[in-house]
Each structure stands twice: as C-alpha cells, then as structure tokens.
C-alpha cells in the first residue's frame, strides 16, 4: 500500500482548539493586552510597555500581600497534609464504619462557599457564636473583626476544617491501594510501626500526596471566599491576601496594573507548583553512592 | 534450622465455624523435616496460602499447634519466629537502595552495623546482586526484585525455613529456570528448610524432594515426584499430577475383575482382595495403556479420535464405550486406524475406593 501523507489530521483537533481559544486563550490574551496598555476609556488607550509590571513589582502593598499569602499557604500545607495523613491512618479499612467516616469527612466539601462563610461568621461571633463566645467566656479576648491575629486564626480554622477532608480522602485512597503482602513482609522483617509508615505507607502515597500538595497549595494560594466573607480582608489589611488585593485593584478600574498583577500571580503559582512537583518526584529516587 | 510440626491444625476465616465447609484448612497433621525442600501443590483456593501463613505466623490457626523443633510457637508473631517468606509479587521498600533493603531485617533486629555490612555483601554475592547494591530497588527488573525478597530472608543468620508463595508467577519463562536453579543451589549450600507453594506441577517436580498435594483444605499425599506418579493416594492426585492426568473410570467389582460400562478388565488379585465396599473407580496413566488392533482379554474396544504430537511421544485420544481415554504412544509406534482395542495391564491399573487408592 502506498503511504499516504499529509497533515489533514490536524483538522480533527480544530473543534477543541476553538473551544480552548474562547474559554482560555482569548481571555488570557486580553489580560496580556491590558497589562501593557493604559486604558483611559472606551477606544482611548496608550501603549505603556512594561510600566505596569515595574509598578507592580515595586508595589509595597503587593509585597505585603505576597508575604502574607506565602505564610498562609505554607501553614495550610504544614497543617493539612500531616493532619490528613494522620486521620487517614486511623480510619477503619472496611465495614460500615469506613463508609460512615467517608461520608462524614466529605460533608464540608459539599457545602457551598458562601454558606461556609455564613456558618463561620455566626460560629465565631464574639457575642453569640458558639466558638467565639465560649473562648471569650474562658477569659481569652477573641474578636476576629478587631484583632488581626484572631482573624488569621479564624481563616486558618475555616480552611483546615473545609479542606483537610480532601487530603484525608486522597491519603485514604492511597493507603487502601497498598497490597497486604507489604504489611506481611514488613512483619516478617520485624519492622516497627514507624518503619512501616516511613518505608511502605509514605512512599506508596507519593502519587496521591503530590496531588494533595499541589491542589491544596494552588487553592490556598488563590484563597478569596473565606477572608472576603469573614472580614473583607480586614481588620485593616490583616487578611488581604493576593486575590483580595487583586479584586480591590480591578474594581478600582486600574485594569492595566490589575492585569499585570494577574500575570505575575499566575506565574508565581506556576513556579511553585513546578517546584513542588519536582521536589516530590525526586525525593527518595535516584541512586545513592 | 528447624523441624516444623503442624499438630491438628484447622483454620477458619469465619468467627464461628460450624460445618466443615467453613474451614479453609481442615485438621492438618504433618511434619516438615529439617532441611527438606518441599513443594506444596494444589489448585487455587485449596488452602495452600493459608497453611503457609500459619507456619510463618501471619495467621494464628483456629485450632491446633505449630511446633518448631518441639517448641510451641502457635501464638508467636512472625518477627519472633525464625522464618522468612517470599511472596507472589516482589515486595520491596521502593525508596531504599538494594543494600538497605537487604539490611532492613537485620537493622530492625538491632544487629551491629559491621555485621550487617558483611552479611549483606555475602548474600548479595550469592544472589548476584552486588552490582546493584547502591541502586534504588524500584528501578530493577522483576527477577532481581524477587531475588531481593529472597535475600531479605537469607541475610538473617537464624532463619530456619524460607516459605515461597508462588514466587515465580511474575518472572519471564527463561528466567524462571535460572531462578529455580539458584534456589536449589541455595538449598544445598545452606541446608534450609524450603516450602514452596505453587500450582504448577513442573515447577514442583523440578524443585522439590517431597511434594505435598493439597485439596479442599486437606493434605492428600506427601511423597516424592515418583511416588505421586506411580501410586497416587487419591483420584485428585492421579488427575492433577501428570499431563494429561490419569484416566479415571467408574466401575463395579466382580471377583478379580473390574466391570466397566464397556467391558471388564482383570485386576491385581491382591488389590481386588482388599477392595472392601464402596464406590469404585479404576485409574491408569496414559503412559501404561496399550493399543492393539485385535481383541484380547482385558481390552476394551474403541475408536481413535485424534492424535497430538509431543516430540518423543504423542497423545492418542480413544473414544471407547465408557468414556474418552488418553493414551501416550511412543514416537514411531504404529497406531491402529479407526477401530482398536485398549489394553489395561493389571499391574499398572490402580483401584480407588471412594476416591482413595486401594493399596
């Protein structure tokens, strides 16, 4: 049979290309377009080059928000990943108790974000909230609307309560996929409980934990709903994370700087995800001398 | 080194076993001699793995006692018994190097590091793993991985027995042979007791001095490959060992003759005298049936249906009045055309009562 060669097969990806173009590429390019122009009004614009980027990179409020954001995401990972693994390890492997645990854990994931905000606003209110009032009655002053530290604690609690179950579910799935023979071999080799965790369970969970770390990092780095609903980024700027600052900028009609900021934001997320992925794939592989 | 005794071992995976059906292992009583190479042979689900796990301590039997050299170890956990086990799929600690994998059982037992190093190098040498010692275990081929699993058993000086649970399932055929030879070498060198579970009879025959046949949670027969072939204690053994297995035909007895649906054949008079009462079957290996082109005493008529060549011999299938018979005919021997007579030599024809051999 004669070989029949041309590039017409490329037409087959045209529909996908069109959809992706309208859903992702065109909006992204619009942002790129804004980031290099000063929009004065409809039809009135001036090309400004990299000016907005320079502006943003030297903006001290942005630095402030970025530092807060990094601390927040770092704490989220440090709390949620170990806590999630810990809970998954203590869950029953089978039977109705296993199903019950899974359903209970999945509940926070099913609640819409604005409902979660409302729940926590009421829960932590210093005057009538179950948590807020209880803490105040213990003699500790707690007011997340006035005290920056309390606001942080509250947002962190919300985040951990809301998203640790996702880490648990992923870790649990990873644990259940380990064949029994591994535990049996470890018993015969006389391994301690810690050694079983360190050399069997943790390495076997590498895949799901990579996903958990990436998801939790991205999500927490883009956090908006919780601080917005709770304090709107306050008190002061205490919980003004990157996305809250971004929305403040763009609603102030500073579209150019906001666009430049968006692109920087996007690149930061991309960079960190890449670093995490590389690190998690590299740890414990490769030869030793 | 140890002699392993199982005393009236029975095991059920159900909490309250009532009938025989509930037991995965039914009243097993046996002795594994020190330094023997045993193969545990049986079809899937017959209790082979259950028995192995009871010996290694991964399972505590519902009833009975396990003795190592006369010491009761029934309730001891695996790490307290000097036993190693190799599983069907290679079990490795992925993030460790081959060296650390081999050292793991020793380090867990707080063996001094100098001793660990010398033992690991010694074992790696025997298993040809030395070039890989500094490599991560996860990147190796299946046969190397299985050798590491075996090595983790061998490094421990006190190991008395190594249990294998179908260890060559995931190994390429041409490497299987090499690994099996390695196992034999190790057996001779260390004088360890080896118990090897498999459902492949060739593997069992080539590996073991003694083969243990299991069926439906019970031990049917323990013997050398030769004994199992010549005098199977149960029809299952007759059918399971040999390829094709024994020809088995239901019959009734009339004096010294077995009466089949399609004729009657003479039996060894000594055997016939001990027959007793029950349901009878005769069994004969395809190798011992003879083909004739004329009628004679002790032959049943039949018709040749097919012939499969197997190199030095071929398997002829004969449709007789009773059932299909398989006959192994040496290469070069003429096979009668369409109709023929099948001869049952009395010395080779075994009689089974209620499925057990009449001796």
The string of pLDDT tens digits covering residues A179-220 is 989 999 999 998 999 999 999 999 999 989 999 999 999 999
Task: Say whether both B116 and B210 belong to one domain.
Answer: yes
pLDDT recorded at residue B334: 77
Mutation for testing the B interface, residue in A178, A179, A186, A190 having most B CBs under 10 Å? A190
Name the closest residue on chain A to residue B49, using Cα atoms: A181
Chain B: closest CA distance from residue A281 (Å): 11
Domain boundary among B208, B236, B264: B236
CB contact under 8 A, B108 and A187: no
Instruction: Reduce the DSSP state of residue A61 to 3 states and report it.
Output: helix
Tell me the chain A residues in contact with residue B77 when contact means C-beta distances shorter than 8 Å.
187
Confidence of residue A289 (pLDDT cuts 50, 70, 90): very low
The string of pLDDT tens digits covering residues B110-121 is: 889 999 999 999
Mutation for testing the A interface, residue in B60, B73, B105, B161 having most A CBs under 10 Å? B105
Task: Say whether both B291 and B167 belong to one domain.
Answer: no
Number of domains in chain B: 2
pLDDT recorded at residue A20: 93
CB contact under 8 A, A179 and B89: yes
Angstrom CA distances, A216 to A212, A220, A221, B266, stand at 6, 6, 8, 82
Chain B: closest CA distance from residue A284 (Å): 5
Task: Say whether both B169 and B205 belong to one domain.
Answer: yes
Tell me the chain A residues in contact with residue B109 when contact means C-beta distances shorter than 8 Å.
190
Mutation for testing the B interface, residue in A177, A180, A185, A283 having most B CBs under 10 Å? A185
Q: How many helices (H) and strands (E) does chain A have?
A: 15, 2
Instruction: Reduce the DSSP state of residue B96 to 3 states and report it.
Output: coil
Peptide bond into B213 cis (omega under 30): no
What does the pLDDT average to over B182-199?
86
Name the closest residue on chain A to residue B95, using Cα atoms: A284
Would you tell me the crossing angle of helices A255-282 and A242-251 to the nearest 10 degrees?
Answer: 160
Tell me the chain A residues in contact with residue B88 when contact means C-beta distances shorter than 8 Å.
181
Task: Say whether both B129 and B257 belong to one domain.
Answer: no
For residue B201, pLDDT over 90 is answered with no
Task: Say whether both B315 and B269 belong to one domain.
Answer: yes
Instruction: Reduce the DSSP state of residue B320 to 3 states and report it.
Output: strand
Q: What is the token pair recorded at B105? A: 């059982």
Q: What is the token pair recorded at B145? A: 């991985």
Task: Say whether both B49 and B137 belong to one domain.
Answer: yes
Say if strands B350-353 and B356-357 run parallel, antiparallel, or are unpaired. antiparallel
Distance CA B313, CA A43 (A): 94
DSSP-assigned states of every residue in B217-255: TEEEEEE-HHHHHHS-SBHHHHHHSSSS--EEEEEEEET
Are A45 and A37 a contacting pair, CB within 8 Å? yes
Instruction: Reduce the DSSP state of residue B99 to 3 states and report it.
Output: helix
Domain boundary among B236, B257, B283: B236
Tell me the chain B residues in contact with residue A288 when contact means C-beta distances shorter than 8 Å.
97, 134, 136
CB contact under 8 A, B89 and A286: no
pTM of the predicted model as reported, rounded to 2 decimal places: 0.80
Of residues A134 and A78, more confidence is placed in A78
What does the pLDDT average to over B323-352?
86
Percent with pLDDT over 90 in chain A:
37
Q: What are phi and psi of B32, to 5 degrees?
A: -105, 110
**CA-based nearest residue to A284, from A206, A201, A193, A170:** A206
pLDDT recorded at residue B18: 78
pLDDT recorded at residue B100: 92
Tell me the chain B residues in contact with residue A184 when contact means C-beta distances shorter than 8 Å.
53, 58, 78, 85, 87, 91
Task: Say whether both B62 and B130 belong to one domain.
Answer: yes
CB contact under 8 A, B94 and A181: no
Distance CA B335, CA B302 (A): 13
Task: Say whether both B80 and B62 belong to one domain.
Answer: yes
For residue A12, pLDDT over 50 is answered with yes
Chain A: closest CA distance from residue B109 (Å): 7
The string of pLDDT tens digits covering residues B119-159 is: 999 999 888 889 989 888 888 888 889 889 989 988 888 88
Class of domain A60-282: mainly alpha
Would you tell me the crossing angle of helices A255-282 and A26-35 to the nearest 10 degrees?
Answer: 120
Q: What is the token pair recorded at A47? A: 């090309």
Which residues does B200 contact at the CB level (< 8 Å), separation at least 6? none
Angstrom CA distances, A49 to A36, A39, A58, A128, B221, stand at 5, 13, 16, 53, 89
Q: Which domain holds residue B335?
A: 245-357
On average, the pLDDT of chain B sits at 87
**CA-based nearest residue to A81, from A201, A164, A15, A156:** A164
B353: which strand partners? B280, B356
CB contact under 8 A, B108 and A191: yes
Domain ranges within chain A, ordered by starting residue: 60-282
Q: What is the token pair recorded at A107? A: 């509940």
Locate tokens 């059982």: which residue? B105
pLDDT recorded at residue A79: 95
Task: Say whether both B56 and B118 belong to one domain.
Answer: yes
- CATH code where residue B252 lies: 2.40.50.140
CB contact under 8 A, A189 and B88: no
Peptide bond into A274 cis (omega under 30): no
ipTM above 0.95, yes or no: no
Task: Say whether both B174 and B311 belong to one domain.
Answer: no
Interface residues of A toward B, Cβ cutoff 8 Å, are 179, 181-182, 184-185, 187-192, 195, 199-200, 203-204, 284-289
> Out of B57, B96, B152, whose CB is closest to A199?
B96
CB contact under 8 A, B134 and A288: yes
To 5 degrees, how large is the angle CA B264–CA B265–CA B266? 135
Tell me the chain B residues in contact with residue A285 when contact means C-beta distances shorter than 8 Å.
95, 136, 138
Chain B: closest CA distance from residue A193 (Å): 11
The string of pLDDT tens digits covering residues A223-232 is: 888 888 888 7
Tell me the chain B residues in contact with residue A190 when contact means C-beta distances shorter than 8 Å.
79, 105, 108-109
Angstrom CA distances, B44 to B47, B54, B200, B209, stand at 8, 17, 11, 22
Quick one: how far is CA B200 from the chain centroid?
7
Task: Say whether both B211 and B281 belong to one domain.
Answer: no
Confidence of residue A287 (pLDDT cuts 50, 70, 90): low
Name the closest residue on chain A to residue B58, using Cα atoms: A184
Distance CA A67, CA A240 (A): 11
CB contact under 8 A, B104 and A191: yes
Distance CA B27, CA B10 (A): 5
What are the start-end ranges of the H helices in chain B? Answer: 48-56, 98-108, 113-126, 142-154, 173-190, 201-207, 225-230, 235-240, 269-273
pLDDT recorded at residue B117: 92
The region that residue A217 occupies, defined by phi over 0 for left and psi between -120 and 50 for alpha, beta otherwise, is alpha
Task: Say whether both B208 and B257 belong to one domain.
Answer: no
């Amino acid at each position: 049979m004669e070989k029949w060669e041309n590039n017409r097969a490329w037409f087959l990806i045209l529909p996908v290309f069109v959809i992706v173009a309208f859903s992702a590429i065109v909006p992204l390019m619009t942002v790129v377009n804004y980031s290099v122009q000063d929009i004065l009004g409809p039809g009135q614009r001036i090309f400004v080059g990299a000016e907005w980027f320079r502006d943003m990179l030297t903006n001290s409020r942005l630095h402030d928000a970025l530092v807060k954001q990094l601390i927040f995401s770092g704490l989220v990972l440090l709390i949620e990943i170990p806590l999630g693994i810990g809970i998954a390890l203590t869950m029953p492997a089978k039977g109705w108790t296993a199903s019950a645990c899974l359903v209970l854990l999945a509940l926070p994931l099913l609640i819409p974000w604005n409902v979660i905000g409302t729940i926590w606003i009421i829960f932590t209110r210093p005057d009538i909230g179950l948590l807020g009032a209880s803490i105040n009655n213990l003699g500790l002053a707690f007011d997340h609307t006035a005290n920056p530290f309390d606001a942080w604690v509250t947002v962190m609690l919300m985040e951990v309560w809301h998203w640790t179950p996702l880490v648990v579910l992923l870790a649990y799935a990873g644990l259940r996929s380990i064949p029994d023979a591994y535990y049996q071999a470890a018993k015969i080799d006389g391994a301690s409980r810690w050694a079983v965790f360190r050399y069997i369970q943790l390495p076997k969970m590498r895949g799901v934990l990579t996903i958990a770390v990436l998801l939790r990092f991205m999500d927490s780095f883009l956090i908006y709903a919780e601080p917005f609903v709770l304090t709107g980024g306050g008190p002061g700027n205490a919980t003004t994370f990157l996305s809250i600052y971004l929305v403040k900028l763009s609603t102030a009609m500073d579209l150019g700087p906001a666009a430049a900021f968006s692109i920087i934001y996007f690149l930061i997320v991309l960079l960190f995800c890449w670093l995490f992925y590389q690190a998690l794939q590299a740890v414990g592989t490769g030869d030793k001398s | 080194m140890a002699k392993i005794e199982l005393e009236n071992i029975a095991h059920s995976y159900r909490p309250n076993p009532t009938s025989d059906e509930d037991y995965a292992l039914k009243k097993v009583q046996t002795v594994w001699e020190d330094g023997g190479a045993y193969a545990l042979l049986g079809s899937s689900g017959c209790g082979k793995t259950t028995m192995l796990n009871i010996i290694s301590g991964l399972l505590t039997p519902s009833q009975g006692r396990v003795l190592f050299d006369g010491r009761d170890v029934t309730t001891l956990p695996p790490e307290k018994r000097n036993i190693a086990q190799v599983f069907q799929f290679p079990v490795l600690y992925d993030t460790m190097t081959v060296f650390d994998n081999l050292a793991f059982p020793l380090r867990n037992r707080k063996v001094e590091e100098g001793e660990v190093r010398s033992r690991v190098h010694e074992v790696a040498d025997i298993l040809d793993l030395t070039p890989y010692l500094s490599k991560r275990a996860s990147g190796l081929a299946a046969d190397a991985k299985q050798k590491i699993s075996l090595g983790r058993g061998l490094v421990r000086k006190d190991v008395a027995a190594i249990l294998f649970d179908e260890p060559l399932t995931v190994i390429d055929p041409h490497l299987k042979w090499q690994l099996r030879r390695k196992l034999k070498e190790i057996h001779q060198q260390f004088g360890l007791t080896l118990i090897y579970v498999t459902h492949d009879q060739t593997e069992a025959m080539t590996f073991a001095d003694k083969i243990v046949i299991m069926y439906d949670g019970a031990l049917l027969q323990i013997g050398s490959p030769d004994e199992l072939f010549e005098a199977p204690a149960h029809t299952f053994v007759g059918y399971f060992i040999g390829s094709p297995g024994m020809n088995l035909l239901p019959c009734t007895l009339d004096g010294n003759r077995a009466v089949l649906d399609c004729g009657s054949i003479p039996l060894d008079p000594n055997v016939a005298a001990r027959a007793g009462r029950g349901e009878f079957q005769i069994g004969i290996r395809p190798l011992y049936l003879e083909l004739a082109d004329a009628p004679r005493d002790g032959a049943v008529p039949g018709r040749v249906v097919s012939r499969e060549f197997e190199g030095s011999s071929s398997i002829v299938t004969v449709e007789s009045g009773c059932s299909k018979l398989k006959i192994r005919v040496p290469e070069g021997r003429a096979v009668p055309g369409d109709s023929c007579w099948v001869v049952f030599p009395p010395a080779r024809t075994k009689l089974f009562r209620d499925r057990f051999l009449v001796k």
